[in-house]
Amino acid sequence: MQFDRKNLPNELVDQVNRMPKIELHVHLEGATKAETFYSLAQKNEVDFGVNSLEEWKSFFAFKDFNHFLRVYTLAITALKKPEDYTFIITEFYRQQAEQNIVYSEAYISASFIIQKFETEEILNAIEAGIRIGEGKYKVKINFIPDISRELVDTQMRVVDFVIEGFDRGLFIGLGIGGPESGFPPELFVEAFEKAKAHGLRLVAHAGETAGAVSIWGAINSLYAERIGHGIRSLEDPQLIRFLVEHQIPLEVSPSSNYALGIVQNGDSHPIRKLLEAGILCTLNSDDPAMFSTSLNQEYFLLLEQGFDCDELFQLNMNALKVSFACEKTKQEVQTKLMAYQENKIHFKVLT
């Protein structure tokens, strides 16, 4: 059955809202709202070249990929002081908690951070954000700093920064994002080998704007344990077989794919095909503030494309299974998921 999102039955909306969720692909900066960047810019006297919040919000709204990169690059200039990171991290915890996302893994754009801050001061600020956020909102978030591909020369400084944060218990792994074209995985082997030797978990954006060859590179050269996006794996049957056989999961973000034109508006999202092929998929919001979405909206989008609540629940179970959470956290999250599922079944029997 197909639904128009605006006309989703309240019961389904309520079930998605109440479902304890796990998100594995969301960018801290891309989850930060236009208003937050604007207020930080005012505080830090950063000129966005606009005269009002309304003007900023209209610039901030997604238009196309190049515009998105301009917005991203300009917005993060507002993050001038270490304590700004404490603030946006705390805000991020609030937003995840409000959506009942009980466990997240979130990227931080480390290539920009290491150019602006001393390691010690920024790690202290990030630690403060995590402490305040966890204490106040009672959800768990593990952070994964990532290398921006276009800033190739930052890779070794990023990995050293990540290792310091990892040793302090602040980070869990290393990622890589940014434009795939012109910056293949093979350029980043040294950084990923160093991170692997130090015990960091490894993930890579691949197979989004570039094809299957980029995913092969992420697996073979960067030892990626999960692939960010990866939907273009469908272009290579041999790769699909490999991903299934080795249970390498994909972090799928439908609204992001539609916005960037990876999937055409009006077409069904290929997540259905990927699941049918036996790929472990998870559902994510990527840069929710910049794509005007949220994790709940991603679930609504799949409901609209014919998924049912049990299938959405299974996507959460997949995410829990392939997350980098410690066993204790996995157990706690599993308990919440099971409690939700039992109540839902009970609810169904009663009505």
Q: What's the closest the beta carbon of residue 25 comes to Zn ion, in angstroms?
A: 6
- Tell how strand 250-252 and strand 140-148 pair up: unpaired
Cα 323 to chain centroid distance, Å, stands at 12
Whole-number Å distance between alpha carbons of 33 and 314: 29
The active-site residue, picked from 23, 105, 180, 208, is 208
Question: Is 251 near Zn ion (CB under 5 A)?
Answer: no
Contact 252, 294 (CB under 8 A): no
Distance of closest approach, residue 324 Cβ to Zn ion, in angstroms: 16
Residue with tokens 């992001």: 256
- What x/- string results for residues 294 through 323 when contact with Zn ion is judged by CB under 5 A? ------------------------------
Closer CB to Zn ion, 105 or 286, in the complex: 286
| Least distance CB 180 / Zn ion (angstroms) | 11
User: Which pair of structure tokens corresponds to residue 319?
Assistant: 């995410």
Round to whole Å and give the CA distance between 232 and 209.
8
State which residue has the least CB distance to Zn ion.
Answer: 286
Based on CB atoms, which residue is closest to Zn ion, 29 or 286? Answer: 286
Find, among 111, 123, 122, 125, the residue nearest to 168 by Cα: 123
Contact region with Zn ion (CB under 5 A), list: 83-91, 143-151, 182-190, 280-288: 280-288
208 is a catalytic site residue = yes
CB atoms within 10 A of CB 6: 7
As measured in angstroms, the least distance from the Cβ of 2 to Zn ion is 28
Task: Choose between 15 and 104: whose C-beta lies nearer to Zn ion.
Answer: 104
Look at the chain and count its residues: 351
CB 173 within 8 A of CB 203: yes
Between CA 237 and CA 243 the distance in angstroms is 10
Contact window for Zn ion (CB under 5 A) among 9-17, 51-59, 142-150, 281-289: 281-289
Check binding of 286 to Zn ion (CB under 5 A). Answer: yes
Q: Which is nearer to Zn ion, 165 or 228 (CB)?
A: 228
In whole angstroms, give the CA distance from residue 107 to residue 110.
9
> Which stretch, 46-54, 60-68, 150-158, 284-292, contacts Zn ion (CB under 5 A)?
284-292
Nearer to Zn ion, 84 or 286 (CB): 286
Kindly list the catalytic residues.
Answer: 208
Summarize as ranges the residues that interact with Zn ion (CB under 5 A): 286
